[in-house]
């Protein structure tokens, strides 16, 4: 059989930032590279907030690998960076430009459909020269093994392909990482869930309302009591002619609180603080969602097995530095390092050593220490324990706490600007909700304007998306409410008492007893991955070109 | 491999493009001419063969000079290496028979004998489905040596260059419930079914497909219609005037009857939604369809 398989030196799965970077770096070394992307166009499956960073320390950045990237594929460069601590209608704003610019060469807002499609064209040109190329509409559905060893990939649309190295840059819901036993979908607290709306806005208005000139942009973050106690926060970034407004929450918190993600997003969109930018106008272009790995917990220390190297979200390399989210830049760096590792291993005549070499490079280049800071590992146990949290809450909420906050107003802004402090931030309600809320309450000024915008309901949001419906790609294994009921609320396109979403609650009569069950219709699925973690499912991606198609991302 | 695909221009029957007069007659002048949609499917079969086996795809049509744009459309939307138009006043008003005669002569005029001739399943205007098979018949009578197998209703093909054969799956009764597989020697004549689907299961094929699609789009965009389309008139084809155009067409169209619109069988009663009493009767009527 072997001889009849198509063979490439390198197969890269996924054309997000990680896959594109790996492919470009491989092609530069003249390594025959095939890139397989399941979207009908690169970017059509992808969602990010999206600020992409070019960091000074990084051995690979987007603009190095792809000259012209910032001018042609990105939206506005982001200079201003603020966080708003909210308590009801009282808001205290801190300027975070210091931490934002620290170690940063540049930072641009991006929309993924535009960005990834642009990258895909470059990637195709570069890899075609090596005898490979980039293909869309192809879903890799597993690893090809021979004698128990990984030798290639299998696809829905193509016959099996063998390769000397397989770079899985297939994102947060990587089926390859799971096939290889390197990642799992077990613990909700390993993940965040991101939900986003792209909102139409004329460029002139953006300049006016954000008080910026046409060649710059701003970023605003939001935390406090506007998210019903769910741990996480909101963001707003300016694009050329639209805004990206979204939320990122700990998935365990969404699950525990039985929160409806779309409602939390609406809480942000309708907060009076946002009226200064919307001014009563709201036209939503697209609603989207995706899981985000928390590198502090899941960044794999040894993300390879045999010929398979994991890159980016697939390896959990997504750094949440407090409110600052860095995933795309790390995916780029890891992609570059994976390519470099293979090239070196090949030169030494030991292509099989690429994985080990890649692992070493992630350490020596300083990627791992950013993804899994030791400080966090040390402080996590103490700060996330309940008694200490209780105590902290009591102090923060006391009069003494309030006096302290007032006294340390300047200091708080400074500590928000400290990467050292941000790296230690524990994942508790205190940090995400209580402290920001208390800051807003004690130090904040009331917002006086009214925000009258009415975001669309879930049915309209789903109705505005494009789907190429295929057979169901998710199967509920346990339909009992106990096992899978959380998905009814946690799925970003489902809601309690909403019949048009994916997950629904049903009561079934059996032998005179009523049973709570869930049913699933995958038609409106946005492929975020949430139910793979919070429900008992058999979860796969749809075939190439099928399922949801994001136009913005 | 050398492939020739046959095509024809037809009125664009799509909503918003097509125009009918008061009596329901097609207004040709106001309706744009486009490539017959089924012929694009045939052209995709030719492209698939080129992707997998290399070679050359010619696209050929018979019709007025305006059909150059139809050929260009095929090049842009699917693929073509070169374009041929058989065009002469004398060829006008031909039925399927005279058309087949002309096209067969055009094919013989090509420098290289085609390994496969592709045609689409019937045109959107004439709907006869005759031209393809008749062309093959004309080719056979002109050339006693080659007896090209004719395979119709083809939904997939697989060429074996070494054996010099083509294996085709075809619909037997025109639906997908009965499919037969046929192996035939090349050269052959293939009429694709609208259900035909090109399949590419190897990455290298999809990459070559991408290259060819990009190249053909670029060529179509910069095509000089007057220079880049080869036009052969009656003289160039050395055709007997008795066998082409109106004179060569044995078909007599005795008349065209518009199909009258069927009268509605249902009677409609208009009820104002504000009229509560009458609305009640509507609900009563609807009740019988409601479950429980
Ligand atoms: C709401 C939200 C906000 C975010 N904000 C930011 C931010 O501001 N800054 C930042 O840096 N990061 C942000 N992130 C995270 C960031 O989007 C990811 O870290 C980043 O996209 C990871 O890149 P990647 O290349 O690893 O994976 P992806 O970008 O997910 O790309 C994976 C690719 O693989 C393809 N693929 C998947 N499976 C298969 C398969 N089986 N076969 C073929 N192809 C496949 C996908 O279609 C996709 O194109 C955010 C994420 C979300 C959801
Ligand atoms: S069904 Fe699952 S994967 Fe699809 S949108 Fe809902 S939670 Fe996300």
Atom of ligand 1 nearest to the CA of A50: 8
Q: Which residues of A touch B202 (CB under 8 A)?
A: 6, 158-159
Strand bridging mode A324-326 / A319-321: antiparallel
Q: Which residues contact A82 (CB under 8 A, 6 or more apart)?
A: A93, A94, A95, A96, A218, A219, A220, A221
Pairwise CA distance, residues B175 & B164, whole Å: 29
Pairwise CA distance, residues A65 & A71, whole Å: 14
pLDDT tens profile A373-427 = 887 766 666 666 666 667 667 777 777 777 777 777 777 787 777 776 666 667 7
Q: Does B287 touch chain A (CB under 8 A)?
A: no
pLDDT for residue B27: 79
Structure tokens at A92: 């205290």
Q: Residue B85 above 80 pLDDT?
A: yes
Of A333-337, B229-233, B279-283, where does mean pLDDT reach its minimum?
A: B279-283
Count of alpha carbons within 13 Å of A398, Cβ hemisphere only?
A: 9
Is residue A462 in contact with ligand 2, taking CB distance under 6 Å? no
Among B140, B175, B130, B138, which Cα is nearest to B155's? B175
pLDDT band at A279; cut points 50, 70, 90 = very high
Q: Does B175 touch chain A (CB under 8 A)?
A: no
Domain presence at residue B45? yes
Q: Which residues of B touch A161 (CB under 8 A)?
A: 203
Domain presence at residue B272? no
Q: Count the neighbouring beta carbons within 10 Å of the beta carbon of residue B289.
A: 6
pLDDT for residue B122: 80
Q: Residue B275 above 60 pLDDT?
A: yes
pLDDT tens profile A189-213 = 999 999 999 999 999 999 999 999 9
Among B62, B20, B64, which Cα is nearest to B39's? B62
Q: Does B215 touch chain A (CB under 8 A)?
A: no
- Angle subtended by helix axes A399-407 and A435-443, to nearest 10: 70
pLDDT for residue A391: 64
From the list A8, A128, A158, which residue is nearest B201 (CB)?
Answer: A158
Give the mean pLDDT of chain A.
93
> How far is the centre of ligand 1, averaged over its atoms, from the C-alpha of A343 (Å)?
25
pLDDT tens profile B39-68 = 999 999 999 999 999 999 999 999 999 999
User: Region A289-312: what's the mean pLDDT?
Assistant: 97
Tell me which chain A residue has its CA closest to the CA of residue B208.
Answer: A133
pLDDT tens profile A83-103 = 999 999 999 999 998 888 989
Of A21-35, A336-350, A356-370, A403-417, where does mean pLDDT reach its minimum?
A: A403-417
Task: Name the closest ligand to CA A166.
Answer: 1
Q: Give me the interface pTM, i.e. the ipTM.
A: 0.91
Domain presence at residue B263? no
Domain presence at residue B277? no
- Beta-carbon separation of A6 and B202 below 8 A: yes
Structural domain range at position B130: 2-243
Is residue A540 in contact with ligand 2, taking CB distance under 6 Å? no
Q: Residue B15's domain is classified under what CATH number?
A: 3.40.50.620
From the list A8, A128, A135, which residue is nearest B206 (CB)?
Answer: A135
Q: Residue A1 above 60 pLDDT?
A: no
Q: Does B199 touch chain A (CB under 8 A)?
A: no
**pTM, two decimal places:** 0.91
Q: Which of A255, A530, A532 to mutate for ligand 2's pocket (most ligand atoms within 8 Å of CB)?
A: A530
Please name the residue ranges forming H helices in A238-351. Answer: 251-256, 261-269, 275-278, 295-298, 328-347
pLDDT for residue B287: 84
- Residues A496 and A505 sit within 8 Å (Cβ to Cβ): yes
- Residues B76 and B216 sit within 8 Å (Cβ to Cβ): yes
Is residue A143 in contact with ligand 1, taking CB distance under 6 Å? no
pLDDT band at A252; cut points 50, 70, 90 = very high
Is residue A325 in contact with ligand 1, taking CB distance under 6 Å? yes
Cα torsion angle, A270, A276, A280, A285, sign:
negative
> How far is the centre of ligand 2, averaged over its atoms, from the C-alpha of A267 (Å)?
21
User: How does A310-347 read in b/e, with b if 16+ C-beta sit within 10 Å?
Assistant: bbbbbbbbbbbbbbbbbbbbbbbbbbbbbbbbbbbbbe
User: Region B99-124: what's the mean pLDDT?
Assistant: 90
pLDDT tens profile B12-45 = 988 888 888 887 777 777 889 999 999 999 999 9
Is residue A518 in contact with ligand 2, taking CB distance under 6 Å? no
- Which three-class secondary structure state does DSSP give residue A136? coil
> How far is the centre of ligand 2, averaged over its atoms, from the C-alpha of A476 (Å)?
11
| Domains with residue ranges and CATH for chain A | 6-75+110-183+300-371 (3.50.50.60), 76-109+184-293+391-460 (3.90.660), 465-549 (3.30.70)
Of A160-164, A217-221, A349-353, B17-21, where does mean pLDDT reach its minimum?
A: B17-21
Exposed (0-12), middle (13-18) or buried (19+): which is A118, by Cβ within 10 Å? buried
Q: Which residues of A touch B210 (CB under 8 A)?
A: 124, 133, 135
Query: Which residues of chain A have a Cβ shorter than 8 Å from any chain B Cβ?
Result: 6, 8, 34, 36, 124, 128, 132-133, 135, 138, 157-159, 161
Q: Count the neighbouring beta carbons within 10 Å of the beta carbon of residue A148.
A: 6
pLDDT for residue B62: 92
Task: Name the closest ligand to CA A326.
Answer: 1
User: Region A209-221: what's the mean pLDDT?
Assistant: 96
Domain presence at residue B274? no
User: Region A284-298: what's the mean pLDDT?
Assistant: 97
Q: Which residues of A touch B204 (CB under 8 A)?
A: 6
Domain count of chain B? Answer: 1
Q: Whose CA is nearest to atom 5 of ligand 1?
A: A49
Percent share of chain B, pLDDT over 70: 95
pLDDT tens profile A116-159 = 999 999 999 999 999 999 999 999 999 999 999 999 999 999 99
pLDDT for residue A420: 66
- Beta-carbon separation of A158 and B207 below 8 A: no
Distance from CA of A159 to the nearest CA of B (A): 6
Q: Which of A49, A66, A247, A468 to mutate for ligand 1's pocket (most ligand atoms within 8 Å of CB)?
A: A49
Is residue A18 in contact with ligand 1, taking CB distance under 6 Å? yes
Q: Whose CA is nearest to atom 8 of ligand 2?
A: A528
List, edge to edge, every strand of the sheet that includes B150-160.
Answer: B179-185, B165-171, B150-160, B188-192, B116-119, B2-7, B56-62, B82-86, B229-232
pLDDT for residue A231: 94
Preferred mutation among A6, A127, A144, A166 to probe B, highest tally of B CBs within 10 A = A6
- Beta-carbon separation of A128 and B207 below 8 A: yes
């Amino acid at each position: 059989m072997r001889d009849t398989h198509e063979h490439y030196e390198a197969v890269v799965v996924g054309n997000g930032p990680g896959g594109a970077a790996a492919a470009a770096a491989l092609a530069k070394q003249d390594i025959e590279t095939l890139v397989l992307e399941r979207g009908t166009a690169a970017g059509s499956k992808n969602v990010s907030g999206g600020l992409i960073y070019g960091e000074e320390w990084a051995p690979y950045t987007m603009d190095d690998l792809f000259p012209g990237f910032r001018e042609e594929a990105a939206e506005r460069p982001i200079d201003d960076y603020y966080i708003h601590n909210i308590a009801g209608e009282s808001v205290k704003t801190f300027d975070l430009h210091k931490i934002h610019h620290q170690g940063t060469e540049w930072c641009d807002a991006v929309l993924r459909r535009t960005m990834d499609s642009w990258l895909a064209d470059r990637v195709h040109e570069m890899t075609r020269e090596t005898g490979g190329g980039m293909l869309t509409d192809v879903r890799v559905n597993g690893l090809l093994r021979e004698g128990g060893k990984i030798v290639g990939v299998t696809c829905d649309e193509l016959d099996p392909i063998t390769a000397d190295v397989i770079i899985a840059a297939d994102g947060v819901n990587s089926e390859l990482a799971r096939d290889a036993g390197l990642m799992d979908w077990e613990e909700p607290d390993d993940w965040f869930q991101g939900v986003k709306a792209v909102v139409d806005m004329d460029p002139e208005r953006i300049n006016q309302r954000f008080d910026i000139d046409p060649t710059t942009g701003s970023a605003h973050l939001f935390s406090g009591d506007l998210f019903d106690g769910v741990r996480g926060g909101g963001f707003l970034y300016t694009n050329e002619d639209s805004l990206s407004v979204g939320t990122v929450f700990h998935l365990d918190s969404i699950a525990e609180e039985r929160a409806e993600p779309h409602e939390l997003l609406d809480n942000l969109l309708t907060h009076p603080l946002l009226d200064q930018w919307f001014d009563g106008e709201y036209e939503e272009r697209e609603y989207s969602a995706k899981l985000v790995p928390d590198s502090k917990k899941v960044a794999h220390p040894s993300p390879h097995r045999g010929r398979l190297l994991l890159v980016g979200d697939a390896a959990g390399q997504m750094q949440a530095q407090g409110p600052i989210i860095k995933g795309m830049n790390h995916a780029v760096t890891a992609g570059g390092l994976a390519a470099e590792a293979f090239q070196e291993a090949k030169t030494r005549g030991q292509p099989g050593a690429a994985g080990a070499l890649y692992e070493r490079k992630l350490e020596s280049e300083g990627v791992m220490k950013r993804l899994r800071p030791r400080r966090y590992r040390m402080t996590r146990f103490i700060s996330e324990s309940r008694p200490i949290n209780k105590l902290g809450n009591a102090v923060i909420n006391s009069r003494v706490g309030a006096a302290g906050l007032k006294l340390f107003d300047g200091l708080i802004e400074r500590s928000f600007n400290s990467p050292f402090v941000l790296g230690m931030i524990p994942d508790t309600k205190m940090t995400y909700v209580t402290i920001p809320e208390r800051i807003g309450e004690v130090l904040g000024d009331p917002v006086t304007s009214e925000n009258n915008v009415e975001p669309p309901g879930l049915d309209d949001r789903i109705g505005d998306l494009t789907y190429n419906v295929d057979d169901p790609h998710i199967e509920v294994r346990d339909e009992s409410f106990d096992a899978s009921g959380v998905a009814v609320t946690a799925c970003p396109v489902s809601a309690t008492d909403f019949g048009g979403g994916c997950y629904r609650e049903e009561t079934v009569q059996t032998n005179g007893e009523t049973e709570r069950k869930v049913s699933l219709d995958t038609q409106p699925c946005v492929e975020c991955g949430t139910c793979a973690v919070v429900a008992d499912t058999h979860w796969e991606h749809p075939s190439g070109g099928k399922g949801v198609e994001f136009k913005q991302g | 491999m050398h492939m020739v695909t046959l095509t024809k221009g037809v009125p664009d029957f799509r909503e918003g493009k097509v125009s009918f007069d008061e009596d329901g007659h097609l207004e040709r002048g106001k309706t744009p001419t486009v490539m017959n949609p089924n012929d694009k499917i045939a052209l995709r079969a030719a492209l698939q063969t080129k992707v997998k086996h290399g070679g050359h795809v010619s696209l050929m049509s018979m019709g007025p000079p305006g059909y150059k744009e139809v050929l260009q459309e095929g090049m842009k939307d699917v693929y073509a290496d070169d374009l041929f138009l058989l065009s002469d006043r004398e060829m006008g008003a031909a039925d399927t028979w005279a058309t087949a005669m002309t096209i067969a002569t055009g094919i013989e005029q090509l420098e290289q004998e085609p390994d496969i001739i592709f045609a689409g399943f019937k045109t959107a205007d004439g709907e006869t489905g005759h031209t393809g098979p008749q062309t093959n018949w004309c080719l056979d009578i002109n050339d006693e040596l080659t007896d090209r197998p004719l395979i119709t209703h083809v939904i997939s093909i697989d060429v074996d260059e070494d054996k010099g054969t083509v294996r085709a799956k075809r619909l037997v009764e025109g639906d997908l419930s009965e499919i037969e597989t046929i192996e035939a020697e090349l050269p052959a004549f293939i009429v694709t079914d609208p259900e035909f689907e090109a399949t590419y299961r190897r990455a290298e094929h999809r990459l070559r497909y991408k290259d060819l699609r990009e190249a053909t789009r670029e060529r179509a965009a910069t095509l000089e219609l007057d220079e880049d389309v080869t036009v052969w008139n009656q003289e160039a084809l050395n055709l007997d005037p008795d066998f082409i155009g109106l004179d060569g067409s044995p078909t007599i169209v005795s008349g065209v009857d518009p199909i009258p619109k069927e009268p509605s069988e249902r009677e409609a009663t208009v009820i104002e939604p504000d009229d509560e009493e009458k609305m009640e009767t509507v609900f009563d009527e609807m009740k019988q369809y409601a479950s429980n």
